[in-house]
Structure 1
Amino acid sequence: MKLVSWNVNGLRACVKKGFLDYFNEVDADFFCVQETKLQEGQIELELEGYRQYWNYAEKKGYSGTAIFTKKEPLSVTYGLGEDEDSEPEGRIITLEYERYYVVTMYTPNAKRDLSRLPYRLEWEERAFNYLNTLNSKKPLIFCGDLNVAHQEIDIKNAKSNKGNSGFTDEERACMSKLLDSGFIDSFRYLYPDKAEHYTWWSYMNKVRERNIGWRIDYFITSEQLADTIKAAEIHSDILGSDHCPILLDIQL
């Protein structure tokens, strides 16, 4: 089973930059998208063979997630298992299947001045509880732009970025706490020492060409699925966004 996750940083813009070429070529069973930046009715995608599930932000042109899947779910949940009004930014979708869950998430950014770090940490606590509740019922595959470089190996300039948004001690500790609670980072599980493999680069001049990046997009699975992971890939050659797609091949 093949899954892809991609923060497209505006799906309408990404479609004009080759999104559908990649989508058709990769032929994933699940294609998860973050930061769609659109409202219902603002795009029409003809994705033959796929069901489409969208979670739109209330704020126009902001945030938003989607999952395109060949597999019809038993149920679909939007938000963190609470009242939907408590999650107005369209950041999470959960698909339930007989033997597993698939979750895509776009974790809030703490902002450059860290003004949104308190909200980010509140989100992290709610997400931790939600994911662990799911995991107590059946295993899950969890993906998305989680807006944190977990370890120093996951960021080009760790020393100079320490304390910056996405690389604060608090954000990194939240990722550690999640992984310690019964989950694995699929890429690091297969490649514990592989350096300079990133999923996001600033739009500043020549930054991507010089591979000055961060690995902030993840496929995380329940520990019990570890032996079923066949591949975890970063498709850094695919353009169209400041993030690149990532892929998980898992035998369920």
Structure 2
Amino acid sequence: MRVITLNVQGIKQAAERGLFDWMVEEDADVYCLQDIQSKEYQLDDGLYHPEGYYPYFFDAFEDDYSGVAIYCKKPPKAIMTGLGFELCDFHGRFIQADYDGVSIVSMSIPSGLKDDTAQSQKFHYMEHFLNHLRKTLRKRRQFVFCGTWNIAHRTSDLSNWYVNQQNSGFLPEERQWMDMVFGELGYIDAFREINHIDHQFTWWPPYNRAWKLNEGARLDYQVTTSGLRKTISNALIHRDARFSEHAPLEVEYDLDC
């Protein structure tokens, strides 16, 4: 099973840049998209429904903002949306597709870069989401959480990390939170399970030479429950697929859904 996650920063803009042609060509089993910035009813055009894929959406209440989607070749047994708290559900940040024995999630954690209020809301979201991750461990199935976590976990995941230690996305509290996810809770960073090379980024800031100079951050993840560790067979970043400021992150699992 090949799973690709991508923050599109607007699905319509990404489509104009060839996203769906690329998706069909790549032929992955599941695509998890974040920040679609559109309502489902606005995506009736066949362009957004490529042949061979079943799309599922979870909109934000606000127009032109947030939202997540899952495109999958095989229809899931069930779809779940939201986590029961406002910062997630009103902003369309969580959708889950359930298959036999495994669930695939498209999700996002909000950015705190705007101001102190945004960072406070991000910490609040992280607290709620950590509780969900704890509850998930009690379920009798495996999970893959795909999306933009908006945190660079280690110094190897961020260029110029030494000047960013007081910036949202690399704050000590955020990195300690990630330590807890991968340490105490036992979740797996699927990409790092395969690829240990420094400076493998999924996002580059929107100034002219950042991408060319590879001055970016690894903000996008596929995080799995520990039972999937031995199924992770390949992981890569599609650095040259430029549909937004983020790059698609692919992980291959020895699973059949």
Q: State if a TM-score over 0.5 links the two structures.
A: yes
Counterpart Cα distance in 1 of 2:85 and 2:160? 40
Letter in 2 for 1:107: I
Q: Once structures 1 and 2 are overlaid, which stretch shifts more, 223-232 or 122-131? A: 122-131
Q: Residues 18, 248 of structure 1: CA spacing in aligned structure 2 closer, same or farther, 3 A cutoff?
A: same
Check if 1:70 corresponds to 2:95. no
- CA distance in structure 1 between the aligned counterparts of 2:24 and 2:242, rounded to whole angstroms: 15
After TM superposition, give the deviation of residue 185 of structure 1 in Å. 0.4
Once the 2 structures are TM-superposed, how far is the Cα of residue 86 of structure 1 from its aligned partner? 6.3
How many residue pairs get aligned? The number is 250
Letter in structure 2 aligned against 1:244: A
> Could you tell me which residue of structure 2 aligns to residue 243 of structure 1?
246
Alignment of 1:40-51 (within 5 A): 40-43=40-43, 44=45, 45-51=48-54
Q: Does 1:55 align with 2:62?
A: no
Query: Which residue is equivalent to 2:8?
Result: 8
With structure 1 as the length reference, what TM-score do the two structures score? Answer: 0.95
Scaled by the length of structure 2, the TM-score of the pair is: 0.93
Within 5 Å, give how 1:1-252 maps onto structure 2: 1-43=1-43, 44=45, 45-80=48-83, 82=84, 87-137=89-139, 138-180=141-183, 181-192=185-196, 194-252=197-255
Counterpart code for 1:129? N
1:179 and 1:50, CA in 2 relative to 1: closer, same or farther beyond 3 A? same
**Cα shift at 1:122:** 1.6
User: Distance between the aligned counterparts of 1:84 and 1:102, measured in 2?
Assistant: 22
Shift of 1:40: 2.5
- Residue 84 (structure 1) shift: 7.4
Higher percent of residues as helix: 2
Return the alpha-carbon distance in structure 2 between the equivalents of residues 52 and 123 of structure 1: 26
Gaps of 5+ in 2: none
Tell me, in whole angstroms, the C-alpha distance in 1 between the residues paired with 2:18 and 2:222. 23
Retained in 1: the 8 A contact 2:237–2:248? Answer: yes
